[in-house]
């Protein structure tokens, strides 16, 4: 095995990164926590922001939609940019841009500035999230250590939304709604410092070409799909605007697939998603995020509006779920996945999540936290922990080198599309159930409270059904046995120079040529 003089610095850089791999993991987890947390940290701050900036109830959903639209539609492009320009550089760019957008949003004196800042946050989140996950996949190549790393990273991803509710409640109640945005400057500063100190630069002079038409059709298709889901949340699933956007999204994504099948420089090489294990893992992530929004969205409403919890108390109510989720995620990825494989763990996690949701369907206006809310949360935490880390590990396994960024972006895309679909679908279900409950009855505060809880529990039934259906489908798709390090489907051969690795890229296997 020989190396050239120009390759030697990259090998030394990889060796240094390997020695610091656990510190690098901590930095990547901070970056991931910031992105996931920001999807929910503003939810509890919304009423205060609305009062301060005087925007309408109809416009308040843009606080979330502006972020998810930009994030969800640009993830594939963000993933490919990290492959093209280097993951270290791309991660730093995403972190700095996210911090600047957060500062502008926190200081906003008008609704338009706030929404623009949220959209820019989404753009830079789409840049940094795939870079962070792809750096994780290329830093940890040993199977046992990879399991531990993904256990921690998966726990952060799964618990981040709940942590966001807690952080948002604390900041809103004791400081100001603006700190739900300003807090990102702290996360970004720590993460950027860690990246610059811990991750080594790597050389690279060859740049693969960007698939322009694939980028346009893929990004436009995802935008139409995510916007269509958010439009359904406002106008209903039968509205012409909703149907038109969803149809446009499907058509554009079909064109995208046709382009990718023929492209020599595909934005998303199709072998990444057509492998059974990766496809099943991505579907598990999609089902998990659809159902999770039923917990975080409607249980937050229930705790605050029915049980009259404060924002801080509401956030604290999710802590037991976070604790068991972290434990379940770590154990499943380190001890259970190497022994049993994803086909047993992921469907089992989805079934447990369905049981947790089923327990929450029994909530009523007179229910108590300890007897009626906590049991469902604990079962959900165990189930989501069994899904998140093993699914993320399996979805990125075998996708290294030139495609690690876009491979990681598919995981984030599944999360964002699932979140958007879950919000739209379950909110529509809850609203319809509430309206039907009140039909023909005399209005009263007691009846209104009962109708609201009926809407929440109906959404929980749907979320339980989605989890159960996901368990069946993933059980059929995923392979038996412990996952192999090598991909089951491989990409077409590439003509690459021996110096093609770009800054921050590559696993040890791809960095060392053999004779």
Where residue 251 falls among pLDDT bands split at 50, 70, 90?
very high
Average pLDDT over residues 147-152: 76
Domain membership flag for residue 183: yes
- Residue 122 vs residues 27, 36, 479: alpha-carbon distances, Å: 20, 11, 35
Question: How far is it, in rounded angstroms, from Cα 142 to Cα 137?
Answer: 10
* Per-residue pLDDT at 507: 33
* Per-residue pLDDT at 208: 58
* Domain co-membership, 146 together with 292: yes
Q: How many other CB atoms are there within 10 angstroms of residue 318's CB atom?
A: 26
Nearest to 142 by CA among 21, 276, 16: 21
Rounded to 5°, the CA angle 89-95-96 comes to 90
Where is mean pLDDT largest: 31-45, 108-122, 200-214, 272-286?
108-122
* Position 189 pLDDT exceeds 80: yes
Gap between the terminal Cα atoms of the chain: 6
Question: How far is it, in rounded angstroms, from Cα 512 to Cα 463?
Answer: 47
Domain membership flag for residue 128: yes
Where residue 149 falls among pLDDT bands split at 50, 70, 90?
confident
Is the CB of residue 488 less than 8 Å from the CB of residue 277? yes
* Per-residue pLDDT at 202: 61
* Domain co-membership, 342 together with 465: yes
Q: Could you read off the pLDDT of 422-471 as tens digits, one per residue?
A: 777 888 888 888 888 888 777 788 898 899 899 999 999 999 999 999 99
Where is mean pLDDT largest: 6-20, 114-128, 331-345?
114-128
* Domain co-membership, 385 together with 238: no
* Position 205 pLDDT exceeds 70: no
- Residue 430: enclosing H or E segment and its boundaries? helix 404-438
* Domain co-membership, 65 together with 169: yes
Question: How far is it, in rounded angstroms, from Cα 488 to Cα 2?
Answer: 28
Domain membership flag for residue 297: yes
* Domain co-membership, 367 together with 292: yes
* Per-residue pLDDT at 335: 82
Q: Report percent pLDDT > 90 for the chain.
A: 24
Domain membership flag for residue 497: no
Q: Which residues of 390-422 are buried (b: 16+ CB within 10 A; e: fewer)?
A: bbbbbbbbbbbbbbbbbbbbbbbbbbbbbbbbb
Domain membership flag for residue 176: yes
The answer to which of 66-80, 162-176, 196-210, 495-509 has the lowest mean pLDDT is 495-509
* Domain co-membership, 86 together with 150: yes
* Domain co-membership, 92 together with 234: no
Number of compact structural domains in the chain: 2
In the structure encoding, which two tokens stand for residue 387, read together? 């899904």
Domain membership flag for residue 504: no
Q: Could you read off the pLDDT of 256-288 as tens digits, one per residue?
A: 889 888 877 777 777 777 788 888 888 998 899
* Domain co-membership, 476 together with 395: yes
* Domain co-membership, 331 together with 226: no
The 3-state DSSP class for residue 203 equals coil
* Domain co-membership, 88 together with 230: no
Cβ neighbours of residue 65 closer than 8 Å, sequence gap 6 or more: 227, 230
In the structure encoding, which two tokens stand for residue 502, read together? 């770009």
Domain membership flag for residue 501: no
* Per-residue pLDDT at 471: 94
Where residue 20 falls among pLDDT bands split at 50, 70, 90?
confident
Question: Which 3-state string (H, E, C) describes 125-193?
Answer: HHHHHHHHHHHHHHHCCCHHHHHHHHHHHHHHHHHHHHHHHHHHHHHHHHCCCCHHHHHHHHHHHHHHH
Q: Report percent pLDDT > 70 for the chain.
A: 83
Is the CB of residue 37 less than 8 Å from the CB of residue 158? no
* Position 396 pLDDT exceeds 80: no
* Position 6 pLDDT exceeds 50: no
CATH code at 421?
1.20.1250.20
Average pLDDT over residues 145-164: 74
Domain membership flag for residue 511: no
* Domain co-membership, 243 together with 324: no
Question: How far is it, in rounded angstroms, from Cα 119 to Cα 112?
Answer: 11
Average pLDDT over residues 170-174: 81
* Domain co-membership, 194 together with 340: yes
Average pLDDT over residues 36-65: 75
Structural domain containing residue 239: 211-254
Where residue 373 falls among pLDDT bands split at 50, 70, 90?
very high
The residue count for the chain: 515
């Amino acid at each position: 095995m020989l190396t050239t003089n120009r390759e030697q610095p990259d090998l030394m850089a990889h060796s240094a990164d390997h020695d610091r791999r656990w510190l690098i993991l901590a930095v990547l987890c901070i970056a991931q926590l910031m992105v996931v947390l920001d999807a929910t940290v503003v939810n509890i701050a919304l009423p205060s922001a609305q009062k301060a900036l005087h925007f309408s109830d109809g416009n308040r959903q843009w606080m979330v939609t502006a972020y998810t639209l930009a994030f969800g539609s640009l993830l594939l492009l963000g993933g490919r940019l990290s492959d093209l320009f280097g993951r270290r550089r791309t991660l730093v760019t995403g972190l700095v841009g996210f911090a600047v957008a957060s500062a502008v949003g926190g200081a906003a004196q008008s609704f338009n500035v706030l929404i623009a800042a949220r959209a820019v946050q989404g753009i830079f989140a789409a840049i940094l999230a795939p870079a962070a996950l792809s750096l994780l996949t290329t830093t940890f190549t040993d199977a046992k250590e990879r399991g531990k790393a993904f256990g921690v990273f998966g726990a952060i991803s799964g618990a981040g939304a709940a942590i966001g509710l807690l952080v948002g409640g604390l900041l809103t109640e004791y400081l100001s709604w603006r700190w739900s945005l300003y807090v990102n400057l702290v996360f970004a500063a720590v993460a950027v410092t860690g990246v610059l100190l811990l991750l080594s630069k790597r050389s690279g002079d060859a740049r693969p070409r960007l698939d322009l038409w694939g980028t346009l059709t893929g990004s436009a298709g995802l935008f139409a799909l995510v916007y269509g889901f958010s439009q359904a949340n406002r106008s209903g699933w039968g509205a012409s605007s909703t149907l038109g956007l969803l149809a446009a999204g499907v058509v554009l994504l079909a064109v995208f697939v046709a382009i990718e099948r023929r492209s020599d420089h595909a934005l998303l090489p199709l072998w990444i998603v057509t492998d059974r294990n990766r496809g099943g893992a991505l579907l598990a992530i999609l089902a998990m995020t659809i159902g999770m929004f039923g917990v975080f969205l409607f249980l937050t409403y229930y705790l605050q509006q029915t049980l009259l919890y404060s924002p801080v108390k509401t956030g604290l109510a999710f802590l037991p779920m976070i604790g068991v989720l972290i434990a379940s995620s770590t154990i499943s990825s380190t001890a259970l996945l190497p022994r049993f494989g994803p086909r047993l763990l992921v469907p089992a996690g989805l079934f447990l999540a369905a049981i947790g949701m089923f327990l929450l369907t029994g909530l009523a206006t007179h229910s108590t936290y300890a007897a009626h809310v906590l049991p469902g949360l604990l079962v959900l935490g165990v189930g989501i922990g069994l899904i998140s880390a093993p699914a993320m590990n399996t979805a990125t396994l075998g996708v290294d080198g030139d495609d690690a960024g876009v491979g990681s972006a598919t995981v984030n895309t599944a999360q964002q599309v699932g979140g958007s679909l879950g919000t739209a679908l379950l909110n529509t279900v809850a609203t319809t159930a509430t309206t039907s409950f009140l039909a023909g009855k005399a209005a009263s505060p007691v009846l209104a409270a009962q109708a609201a809880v009926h809407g929440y529990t109906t959404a929980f039934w749907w979320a339980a059904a989605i989890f159960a259906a996901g368990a069946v489908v993933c059980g059929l798709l995923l392979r038996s046995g412990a996952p192999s390090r090598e991909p089951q489907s491989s990409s077409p051969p590439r003509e690459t120079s021996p110096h093609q690795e770009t800054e921050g890229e590559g696993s040890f296997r791809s960095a060392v040529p053999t004779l």
